[in-house]
């Protein structure tokens, strides 16, 4: 495809493109020269709209400044007494350090290293501690209970605080498993249970029953088999139970895990270190992991202020930093991931932040490439415009912000926010996972985003 054909609609004015899209709700955008910061074109650019996961770009900048690109999170095994004859004379503590990427494989390596160190058992308790960061039962209380992208938060988190639920038809019933699986391991857990119930709706129910996360699922929703990840609300116990199972496989018998609110003291026997923060943030922006955004955001606030802050308090501190550091004076955030729809960012603010990041940091290289598509939805591999950006999606909210490289070699910073807030607010909690008309609305928004990008790629090519 020749460039002039690919950009054949680019000379159409932005207002015409918006009118043609017939998207319900509000549209706001801003585009600027990424090097000079000169605003080139705006529409309702001072209007604050829900940014959804575009918020994660701000979180990435916040974490890089206060933690540093090479920061690593540490998960420790601490002994409160000496090790004599392979026996810990006291308690063993699995102590989280806020690592958002800790997984079953990492705990398996810790268990293997514990055996290699010569430890065979303990005389005291097996404790789990997540107090490095404040606990939150969930990120956004307005989400359905069962969605895996809205788990609990803790300084000790495992598998993004999700448990794997799998079911398979067995005659007139179903066999179910709840485990903390990885590519290599599938340790079953008992802190979360599932019962299949003969009903149509609701699909899932949840209750914390005597310390057990008890789920039920409607039989009508299961079919012959399948799986999904469910959120965990007691992450410290979850991690402790999985580690205890993995340790048992190496012949190390530990007593039942118990959560402690007291910061552990003693000797660090072993520690697991995460990848550098730069890599954690790259994957966060690629896969849009909410738990990662919340934990690194809270860790950055702790480094900035010297004290821990709950989710809302930390988000407010990040908003203050964004105003001071990035000129985002109209930004009001309720979390670090964008899951809460009460957050507001203007397109003007977001574009200013991207200009600042383009001049001073590695953000552009960390963002993923956004393919442009033809009228049939097929990716145009040789499109003359390239885009690196962060997407953001909630029900009847779609956002895109990042950088455009034009055919003329000019870099542009841009933000496009679209939202139909009345339509979103009318949804019940049960409707929020797959609302009627949501996918169609989102498709129209993305088509408008591409039309605007193609316009800017020619109009401001340089």
Per-residue pLDDT of the chain (462 residues; tens, 9 = 90+): 334 434 444 468 999 999 999 999 999 999 999 999 999 999 999 999 999 999 999 999 999 999 999 999 999 999 999 999 999 999 999 999 999 999 999 999 999 999 999 999 999 999 999 999 999 999 999 999 999 999 999 999 999 999 999 999 998 899 999 999 999 999 999 999 999 999 999 999 999 988 899 999 999 999 999 999 999 999 999 999 999 999 999 999 999 999 999 999 999 999 999 999 999 999 999 999 999 999 999 999 999 999 999 999 999 999 999 999 999 999 999 999 999 999 999 999 999 999 999 987 799 999 999 999 988 888 988 899 999 999 999 999 999 999 999 999 999 999 999 999 999 999 988 888 889 999 999 999 999 999 999 999 999 997
Output the six-digit token pair for 99: 């690592």
Q: What residues contact 256, with CB distance under 8 A and at least 6 apart?
A: 126, 244
Q: In whole angstroms, give the CA distance from residue 270 to residue 111.
A: 10
Output the six-digit token pair for 152: 């609990």
**pLDDT of amino acid 361:** 78
**pLDDT of amino acid 11:** 63
Output the six-digit token pair for 355: 């200009």
**Planar angle of CA 307, 308, 310, nearest 5 degrees:** 145
**pLDDT of amino acid 9:** 43
Alpha helices by DSSP H, listed for 200-310, are 235-248, 277-287, 290-305
| Burial (0-12, 13-18, 19+ Cβ within 10 Å), 15 | exposed
SS3 171: coil
In this structure, the chain runs to a length of 462
H or E segment to which residue 446 belongs: helix 438-459
**pLDDT of amino acid 10:** 46
On whether the CB atoms of residues 285 and 57 are closer than 8 A, the answer is yes
Q: In whole angstroms, give the CA distance from residue 293 to residue 284.
A: 7
H or E segment to which residue 230 belongs: strand 225-231
| Burial (0-12, 13-18, 19+ Cβ within 10 Å), 302 | buried
To the nearest 10°, report the CA torsion of 71, 77, 81, 86.
-130
Q: What is the CA radius of gyration of the chain?
A: 24
On whether the CB atoms of residues 292 and 101 are closer than 8 A, the answer is yes
> In the sheet where 368-369 sits, what is the strand order?
39-43, 26-33, 411-419, 397-405, 386-394, 368-369
> What backbone torsions phi and psi does residue 189 show, to the nearest 5 degrees?
-120, 155
Q: In whole angstroms, give the CA distance from residue 346 to residue 364.
A: 20
Instruction: Count Cβ atoms below 10 Å from residue 51 Cβ, excluding itself.
Output: 30
Alpha helices by DSSP H, listed for 33-178, are 55-67, 104-116
| Burial (0-12, 13-18, 19+ Cβ within 10 Å), 36 | exposed
For residue 67, give the nearest of 225, 279, 311, 351 by alpha carbon: 279
Q: In whole angstroms, give the CA distance from residue 224 to residue 179.
A: 19
Q: Which residues pair with 196 in a beta bridge?
A: 217
**Cα-based distances in Å from 120 to 107, 250, 252, 313:** 17, 9, 5, 43
What does pTM read for this prediction?
Answer: 0.95
């Amino acid at each position: 495809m020749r460039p002039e054909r690919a950009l054949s609609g680019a000379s159409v004015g932005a207002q015409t493109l918006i009118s043609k899209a017939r998207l319900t709700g509000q549209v706001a955008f801003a585009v600027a020269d990424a090097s000079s910061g000169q605003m080139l074109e705006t529409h309702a650019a001072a209007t604050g709209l829900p940014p959804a996961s575009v918020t994660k770009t701000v979180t990435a900048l916040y974490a890089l400044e206060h933690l540093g690109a090479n920061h690593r999170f540490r998960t420790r095994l601490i002994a409160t007494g000496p090790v004599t004859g392979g026996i810990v004379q006291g308690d063993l503590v699995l102590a989280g350090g806020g690592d958002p990427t800790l997984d079953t494989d990492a705990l398996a390596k810790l268990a293997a290293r514990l055996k290699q160190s010569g430890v065979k058992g303990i005389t005291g308790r097996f404790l789990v501690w997540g107090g490095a960061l404040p606990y939150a039962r969930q990120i956004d209380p307005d989400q359905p209970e069962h969605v895996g992208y809205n788990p609990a938060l803790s300084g000790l988190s495992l598998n993004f605080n999700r448990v794997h639920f799998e079911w398979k038809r067995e005659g007139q019933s179903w066999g179910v498993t709840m485990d903390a699986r990885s590519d290599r391991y599938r340790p079953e857990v008992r802190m979360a249970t599932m019962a299949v119930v003969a009903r149509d709706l609701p699909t899932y129910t949840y209750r914390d029953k005597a310390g057990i996360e008890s789920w039920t699922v409607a039989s009508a929703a299961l079919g012959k088999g399948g799986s999904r990840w469910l959120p965990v609300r007691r992450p410290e116990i979850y991690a402790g139970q999985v580690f205890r199972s993995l340790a048992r496989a190496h012949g190390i018998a530990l007593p039942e895990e118990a959560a402690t609110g007291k910061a552990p003291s003693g000797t660090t026997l072993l520690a697991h270190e995460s990848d550098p923060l730069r890599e954690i943030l790259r994957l966060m922006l690629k896969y849009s992991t909410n738990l990662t955004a919340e934990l690194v955001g809270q860790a950055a606030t702790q480094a900035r202020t010297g004290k821990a802050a709950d989710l809302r308090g930390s988000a407010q501190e990040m908003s203050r930093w964004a105003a001071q550091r990035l000129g985002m004076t109209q930004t009001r955030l309720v979390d670090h991931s964008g899951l809460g729809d009460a957050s507001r960012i203007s397109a003007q603010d977001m574009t200013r932040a991207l200009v600042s990041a383009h001049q001073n940091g590695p953000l552009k290289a960390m963002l993923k490439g956004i393919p442009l598509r033809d009228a049939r939805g097929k990716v145009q591999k040789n499109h003359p415009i390239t885009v690196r950006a962060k997407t953001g999606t909630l029900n009847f909210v779609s956002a895109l912000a990042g950088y455009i490289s034009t055919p003329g070699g000019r870099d542009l910073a841009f933000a496009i926010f679209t939202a139909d807030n009345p339509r979103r607010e009318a949804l019940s909690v049960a409707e929020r996972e797959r609302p009627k008309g949501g996918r169609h609305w989102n498709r129209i928004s993305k088509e408008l985003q591409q039309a605007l990008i193609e316009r800017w790629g020619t109009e401001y090519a340089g």
